[in-house]
Structure 1
Amino acid sequence: MKIISWNVRGSGRLQTVKRLRQMLKLHNPQMVFFMETKLGRQQMERVRRRCGYTNGIEVDPEGTRGGLCLTWRNEVDITLSSFSKRHIDVFVDDNEKGCKWRFTGFYGSPYIQDRNESWAVLKSLATNKDFPWFVVGDFNEIMYGSEKKGGLPRDKRRMELFRRILKECQLYDVGYEGSWFTWERGNLPETNIQERLDRGVANMEWINMFQEDYKGGLSKSKMKERRKKQVLIRKLTELAKKERDYETLEELIDTKINLNFELEKEECYWEQRAQIDWIRYGDRNTSFFHGRALQRRSKNLIRKLKNKDGREMGDLQDMEGIARCYFKKLFSTE
């Protein structure tokens, strides 16, 4: 099943509707979730029908802010569960998978003062844990510093809160394919800001159910990132050999910044993957669990200690004597 989530930032203009129709014709998704429609129910219904979708649920905007719409093809069986100005929650009767799962289109408030209210809505939706659950939309928040480029750094407490909310809801980022950033403002390099505000998150039941699709989507993007990282490393090596002038130093610094950004991005990805893998396999009696246990044991094993003369001792009895003397001296009273 193909699903598109799109913050249209107003769908009343003819140019926007034209773009909508072209994109939907090109990708032909079974489900589409629109945010910031800024249109009343009747107006948005006319727009989606012009795009070829007869089924839909619309949520009115508050003045010129917000507005949501979830629409789907006739072959998809949808049952509405709940909706608000922040979400549309439905059950999908999936004929391909032969089961029912939850879909939630979510739109987080772009205003800091309303952020807690957005997270409260998400937490209230997480109380129903009986079905595989997929949440997609514009959360208007980032998880890590690497998900923002340009402008002032994001407050760490805000990012930690977002990660904690997702953890409490037992939702995990399902990755991405294509551009890392989903929102951009400013045309000039010095004013340009890019952020990854849109994402898909899901519980383990949903991830396990769509495991093949999930892995396939990640492999292409990771290969592209690996190539980009290799190019940056080669460029950095070449620049380091050049004569140091102003232009070379400027390019060297810029390349280092981009490489550090790519490394941080990869670190964030593997941190999320490690959490998912541990939840999926960690508490089972499998080779994965034993491999992790052996790896941790090997990492924590002390192989040598230095005595007071600076000599390295690897014998177990010698190491015990060195440790005993060290702590005896540390805790003795002068």
Structure 2
Amino acid sequence: MISTIIWNIRAINTQGVMERLKNLNKIHHVSMIAVLEPFSDNNNINMFKSMLAMDHATSNINGKIWLFWNTDISCTVLEADEQQVTCEISHTEVQGNYIKTFVYAKCKEYLREPLWDKLLHFADTRDTTPWCTVGDFNVITDIDEKLGGIPYNMRKSLEFIGVIEACGLMDLGFNGPKFTWSNQRGINFRIWKRLDRAMVNDSWLQNMPHTCITYLPSVGSDHCPLLMEMVRGHEIASSISIPCCWVEQPSFEEAVSLSLLLETGPWKGNPMWIFHQKMKRLASTLSAWSKMQFGDIYGKVRDFEKRVKVAEDNLLQSNTEKHREELHSINAEYIRYMKLEDAILKQNHRCIGLKKVMVTPNTSMHSLEKGGGDYLSIKSSMIMMNGYKEMNRLQRLREEKKIDELPMECIPRIVSQEHNDRLKEIPSIDELKEVVYSMNPNSAAGPDGMNGYFFTRNLWNIINKDLMGT
């Protein structure tokens, strides 16, 4: 494992904190440490680098983020400001370079806006590079991420949620405690929140799908340390794409059932993240299943082609019933594997292609190829984010009584309260089934290798509870 510790430490120069960091470094063989809020002068960073037995160190401009790393990795700081440090990192045992953005976000909502703009910029310019943003974002994404205190106003989180969606980021989930921060007050006044998290883009999931986040006990600070463990290059299982011909096999459904119905283990977090973890486990299961069931299909076709030629030669030299039966048997297997190969090649050819077209320096559009040269355009994340900003601006103006609501009462309400309530309802199992079954069976598979045919072919009864989060 390639391990990184990320911790809002609230003063690095206390003996308990330093001892904890040294111990974590020793236990987990850490390659990199990100210290948030060290509360120490930047001139002291080299002293702490030596104390932590690290080889390199850097800081952002206001000294709120300190980074330490050893010679296992090569780290180049691409950009740093008051709320983030973005690094391009490489490791000898990880294929290619990847980018990490270490975040310590401001406490006030309006002060976090420059950080959100920066994340959107990174997402637009580096969408094909594995990218992870990790740290203390000082905001939650769900009311379940807070316990205690007054009820949380989700309006405070709308902009952050919009940034996550616009950047195409996915929360990696976690093992360990549910909350990462506590105000550490008396039992009747204590508040817990999940302020620290790690999020990655699709490219990261494809290259390092087994990245794991563990929340360690919050000894020495009011925040939990985050332990990020990345799978080394030779341990990364190659991604698979589920051919439709697999789904037709009698033993396929049994293999899927055995994998998906296993206990979720230590996984905690969003139900869809847990489902994603199950899909990753299923991919490994099906990879082993396919080797037992088919072996190397392309290799088998080449092998049977040679065997057919040998069998034909044997039949010509000795025209016996035994050689004739042998040729027929080999021919049958040869045809079987050719059909499998042909089905896979046809499926790959039919898959929908995604390509990116740059329109202007500030705007990008994604075109989804539908066949026949037709493309479906999707507005870029920057346009989406502008919508969130405008919505929040209008909401603030309303709260500050700077918008006269009286003239707006003359505008007829197109969406009734009943319609609005229906729009906010959680989809039923039947509605979800309808959506799943409307998927194009030949659609391009996602990072987990599962396409529309997989989800609709006799597997609904296995996956529906996971999709509903029940």
Quick one: which of 192, 196, 200 aligns to 1:202? 200
TM-score (norm 2): 0.48
- Once the two structures are superposed, residues 233-272 of structure 1 have per-residue CA deviations (whole angstroms, 9 ceiling, x without a partner) of xxxxxxxxxxxxxxxxxxxxxxxxxxxxxxxx65474588
Distance change >3 Å, CA 161–CA 294, structure 1 → 2: farther
Deviation at 1:60, TM superposition (A): 4.4
Specify the SS of the correspondent of 1:162.
helix
Specify the SS of the correspondent of 1:12.
coil
Distance change >3 Å, CA 215–CA 55, structure 1 → 2: closer
Paired position in structure 1 for 2:118: 121
Paired position in structure 1 for 2:265: 223
Figure out how many residues of one structure are paired with residues of the other and give that number. 253
Task: Give ranges in structure 2 of 5+ residues lacking alignment.
Answer: 215-228, 230-259, 284-435, 462-470
Paired position in structure 2 for 1:32: 33
Cα pair 1:41 1:60 within 8 Å, conserved: no
Q: 5 Å matches for 1:50-65?
A: 50-61=51-62
| 2:155 partner letter | R
Quick one: which of 83, 86, 111 aligns to 2:108? 111
Deviation at 1:124, TM superposition (A): 2.6
| 2-structure distance, mates of 1:283, 1:141 | 36
Cα pair 1:30 1:76 within 8 Å, conserved: yes
Cα pair 2:168 2:201 within 8 Å, conserved: yes
| 2-structure distance, mates of 1:155, 1:120 | 23
> Radius of gyration: which is bigger?
2
| 1-structure distance, mates of 2:59, 2:271 | 39
Answer yes or no: is 1:289 the counterpart of 2:429.
no
Specify the SS of the correspondent of 1:223.
coil
Distance change >3 Å, CA 39–CA 282, structure 1 → 2: farther
| 2-structure distance, mates of 1:282, 1:175 | 30
**Larger RCO of the pair (alpha carbons < 8 Å, separation 6+):** 2
Q: 5 Å matches for 1:1-334?
A: 1-61=2-62, 67-129=64-126, 130-214=128-212, 222-224=264-266, 266-267=270-271, 269=273, 283-284=443-444, 288-292=451-455
| 2-structure distance, mates of 1:222, 1:37 | 37
Distance change >3 Å, CA 225–CA 128, structure 1 → 2: closer
Cα pair 2:89 2:100 within 8 Å, conserved: yes
Cα pair 2:54 2:70 within 8 Å, conserved: yes
Specify the SS of the correspondent of 1:30.
strand
| 2-structure distance, mates of 1:163, 1:187 | 29
- List structure 1 segments (4+ residues) > 6 angstroms apart after TM superposition: 271-274
Specify the SS of the correspondent of 1:19.
helix
Distance change >3 Å, CA 142–CA 287, structure 1 → 2: closer
Distance change >3 Å, CA 173–CA 283, structure 1 → 2: farther
Distance change >3 Å, CA 144–CA 47, structure 1 → 2: same
Cα pair 1:144 1:268 within 8 Å, conserved: no
Deviation at 1:12, TM superposition (A): 2.6
Calculate percent identity across the aligned residue pairs. 20
Deviation at 1:30, TM superposition (A): 0.5
Give the alignment's Cα RMSD to 1 decimal. 3.6
Distance change >3 Å, CA 191–CA 162, structure 1 → 2: same
| 2-structure distance, mates of 1:282, 1:140 | 42
Distance change >3 Å, CA 222–CA 183, structure 1 → 2: farther
Distance change >3 Å, CA 42–CA 54, structure 1 → 2: farther
**Deviation larger for 286-295 or 104-113:** 286-295
| 1:289 partner letter | G
Cα pair 1:40 1:59 within 8 Å, conserved: no
Deviation at 1:32, TM superposition (A): 1.0
| 1-structure distance, mates of 2:267, 2:204 | 26
Task: Give ranges in structure 1 of 5+ residues lacking alignment.
Answer: 227-264, 299-334
| 2-structure distance, mates of 1:272, 1:131 | 21
Deviation at 1:292, TM superposition (A): 4.3
Distance change >3 Å, CA 225–CA 125, structure 1 → 2: closer
Specify the SS of the correspondent of 1:99.
coil
Cα pair 1:7 1:36 within 8 Å, conserved: yes
Deviation at 1:69, TM superposition (A): 0.9
Distance change >3 Å, CA 112–CA 221, structure 1 → 2: farther
Paired position in structure 1 for 2:368: none
